[in-house]
Structure 1
Amino acid sequence: MDKDNSGYIDLDSRAEKMLRKGEFLGRGHNGIVYLLPNKKIIKIFKDKKVCNKEYDILKKTENSKYFPKTYAHGPYYIVRSYVGGERLDKYIKKRGFNKEIAHNIIKLIKEFKRLEFKKLDIRCKDLYIGKQFSLRVIDPKNNYSEEVIYPRHLMKGLNKLGVLDEFLSAVNDECPEAYKLWNFRMKQYLDKGIK
């Protein structure tokens, strides 16, 4: 929401109708999410610029299996497919980490490159893990505008979970060139706090 509107968001009648049928799922930094009866969600944003940026990313990635499909969009909301599964960080805490998860993360970063993202990064909490360790992105941010050449936040999260070395070992096995860059940059980041 814009700073001068005291928390009020002007939704169109279509979005208001959907909200009446929705079930509250959660609240994040950028807005609120409701589950709709048809296995879709509506995300209400505080800021229309953030809403438009996320919508643009989702439209550009609509043919990728890693991103939800969009159905409707307004100045302050997006209706998109529901992403099931469990948040990656919570999953790892409960069930641990394995090579399949590492392999699928590597494939996801390769998909980011294929999609011509400038930002090859995502937070663990914005990834959901489903059947056969499949991954889905729920909250893409600044992928085409912010340049990050390795998955810094993702690896920072994996480090906090105690599985970074296991992940980097899988990267070294599958993509030695990526490993050299990612390992070097992450060591710099962890040792000196360099981004």
Structure 2
Amino acid sequence: MQFFESINLNQSAEKIDIDASRDYPIVSRGPKSVIFKISHEHCLKVYTNMDQLKLEADGLYAAQDFSFIPKLYRVGPNFMIREFYDAPTLKDYLKNCTYLPENIAINLLTIVKGMKKAKLMMGSDPLDHIFVTGNEELKLISPIKDNGNSPIPLSLLNDLKGILLQDSFLSHVKKLDPSLYNKWKVFLMENPVDYKRFTDNTEEKYENLTHNLIGQGRQGAVYRVDEEKCVKIYPKQSHFLKEREVLLSSQHLSFIPKVYETGPNYILMEYLQGPDLNTFLKKQSKLQEEVTINLLKMLESMMDSGFTKIDAPLRHIFITGQGFKLIDHVYSFSKKQKRPLELFRNLHERKFLDSFLEQVKALNPKLYAEWTNKPIPLTKEEAEEEVKMIRKKEKGQ
């Protein structure tokens, strides 16, 4: 196994061409390291960055007494040999889950408490560095020294938020350890997003408030303010003005989020508790008529209320205790689109479009006829072409 000691440490690990991989398969490769499986129980990690090697080795050494930490067998000048897990990562294991299993939450809490006791913390992307072995036992492969910047496991909470399971995990923590939950809650409350300080010219990223970030895109960033509210900050004044007009004039519609306050470039609105419809439908084998009824009610309300862009992308619909709620309305009054093209495409990808249209035909035959009097575009390019034709036709009138 001396091949790893001759690797050129000045090049990126992603560019290393290693003949030894013929005998020892590569299981992971990144910019600073390559991991080989050298037996059923052992893996070898070769580093091109010695600082990274020291950081990870120190963390593993300090946590060897914990059952959720892999055994560290040897550390050399540019490598380490540690326990190997032929198991899925926690991120893959939780894929498509709408609720975090209690046993997983218990084991995650054990890791968090153990790391705190050892003055360690999870590194970046913890869900990719936690493996799920038999009986849902968790193994963390990347503990590092605690930098003392945060009393709560921010990286873990951020990762769980990214797959819509943060609230589910916190509900378990509240039940399992109310005192710890209250400490975390106090931290979150004492480090709110000061959205009134944002201006449309600010470049401040609020890196210390990443735990509040719900989502970010071209139209703005959304931060959770408390258990019931979130705020959307807009980088473009035009986007802010367009969405504010839609939201404020449509508060009487059941699918529009409640607005509490607006500022020069932000909107404070209700935080939507519940999964998005795209995530929900991934777990379904057939399209329930109740889903179609709710979608149809929403789309009909749009048409009756002066919306010019008629659409409801699955990822923008949240299933809440108060029914379906739709977000992202920047272009609802300014762009013209008579058919819900993205919704059609989303349902087609989920293999539910035919069922949806059959149910619409029974519920609203007239609307079904309008939607199907010409072929439905099933690709993004086809949908964009239809929208262009609508605009071209309107300009010619």
What TM-score results when the alignment is normalised by the length of structure 1? 0.83
Q: Write the distance in 2 (CA, Å) between the matches of 1:84 and 1:70.
A: 15
Is it true that 1:72 corresponds to 2:261 in the alignment?
yes
Q: Is 1:70–1:78's contact at 8 Å kept on the other side of the alignment? A: yes
Segments of 5+ residues of structure 2 without an aligned counterpart are 1-193, 199-205, 387-397
Q: CA deviation at 1:64?
A: 1.2
Q: CA deviation at 1:51?
A: 1.0
1:77 alignment partner AA: Y
Q: Is 1:40–1:80's contact at 8 Å kept on the other side of the alignment? A: yes
Is it true that 1:112 corresponds to 2:293 in the alignment?
no
For residues 103-144 of structure 1, the C-alpha deviation after alignment (integer angstroms, 9 at most, x for no partner) is 110111111022111111122211112348x31011113111
Residue equivalent to 1:100: 290
Q: Is 1:102–1:170's contact at 8 Å kept on the other side of the alignment? A: yes
Q: Is 1:52–1:75's contact at 8 Å kept on the other side of the alignment? A: no
Q: Write the distance in 2 (CA, Å) between the matches of 1:188 and 1:70.
A: 35
Q: Which has the larger radius of gyration?
A: 2
Question: SS state of the match for residue 283, structure 2?
Answer: helix
Q: Write the distance in 2 (CA, Å) between the matches of 1:28 and 1:14.
A: 17
Q: CA deviation at 1:188?
A: 4.3
Q: Is 1:72–1:79's contact at 8 Å kept on the other side of the alignment? A: yes
Kindly tell me the number of residue pairs found equivalent between the two proteins.
Answer: 180
Is it true that 1:15 corresponds to 2:196 in the alignment?
yes
For residues 43-75 of structure 1, the C-alpha deviation after alignment (integer angstroms, 9 at most, x for no partner) is 111111101111110001111111111122122
Is it true that 1:124 corresponds to 2:314 in the alignment?
yes
Q: Is 1:31–1:43's contact at 8 Å kept on the other side of the alignment? A: yes
Q: Write the distance in 1 (CA, Å) between the matches of 2:230 and 2:237.
A: 18
Q: Is 1:45–1:77's contact at 8 Å kept on the other side of the alignment? A: yes
1:181 alignment partner AA: E
Residue equivalent to 1:48: 237
Q: Write the distance in 2 (CA, Å) between the matches of 1:130 and 1:69.
A: 13
1:153 alignment partner AA: E
Residue equivalent to 1:6: none
What TM-score results when the alignment is normalised by the length of structure 2? 0.42
The counterpart of 1:86, out of the listed 258, 275, 281, is 275
Residue equivalent to 2:225: 36
Q: Write the distance in 2 (CA, Å) between the matches of 1:29 and 1:92.
A: 26
For residues 73-98 of structure 1, the C-alpha deviation after alignment (integer angstroms, 9 at most, x for no partner) is 12221111111211111110123421
The counterpart of 1:190, out of the listed 370, 378, 390, is 378
User: Which residues of 2 match residues 152-191 of structure 1 at below 5 A?
Assistant: 152-185=341-374, 187-190=375-378
2:378 alignment partner AA: L
Q: Is 1:83–1:138's contact at 8 Å kept on the other side of the alignment? A: no
Q: Are the structure 2 counterparts of residues 180 and 59 from structure 1 closer, same or farther at C-alpha, using a change threshold of 3 Å?
A: same
Q: Is 1:92–1:161's contact at 8 Å kept on the other side of the alignment? A: yes
Q: Write the distance in 1 (CA, Å) between the matches of 2:240 and 2:336.
A: 20
Residue equivalent to 1:27: 216
Q: CA deviation at 1:169?
A: 0.6
Q: CA deviation at 1:174?
A: 0.6
Question: SS state of the match for residue 95, structure 1?
Answer: coil
Q: CA deviation at 1:172?
A: 0.2
2:320 alignment partner AA: G
- Identical amino acids, percent of aligned pairs: 26
2:302 alignment partner AA: F
Q: Which fold has the larger relative contact order, with Cα–Cα distance below 8 Å and residues 6 or more apart in sequence?
A: 1
